[in-house]
Amino acid sequence: MDQQAKKNTIANIVSAMGGINGVKKDEIVNRQLCHWFRADMNLGLGIVKGLDLNLDKGMEGMVNSDITEKATNN
């Protein structure tokens, strides 16, 4: 995927995920972010940034902090 295709993919995902609401919003968003991070670390980071989420808050209690470290170094 070229850079423009990646940007378009992230924008489409952010747009779709931005419409998630309800009592299970956080659970759904976190589950989907796990899928995106597993697919591609930079894709996951782009979605987190696009949704204006606090990755550190979402990672509380997680044993592996590799994702948090990469996010803060980018």
Whether the CB-CB separation of 34 and 57 falls below 8 Å is answered with no
Q: Which residues contact 32 (CB under 8 A, 6 or more apart)?
A: 17
Measured distance CA(24)–CA(12) in Å, rounded = 21
Tell me which amino acid residue 50 is: G
Structural domains counted in the chain: 1
To the question of pTM greater than 0.85 for the whole model, the response is no
The model's pLDDT over 19-71, given as tens digits with 9 standing for 90+, comes to 999 999 989 999 999 999 999 999 999 999 999 998 776 555 454 445 555 55
b/e per residue 7-20 (b: at least 16 CB within 10 A): eebbeebbeebeee
Q: Which domain holds residue 22?
A: 3-73
pLDDT (0 to 100) of residue 63: 44
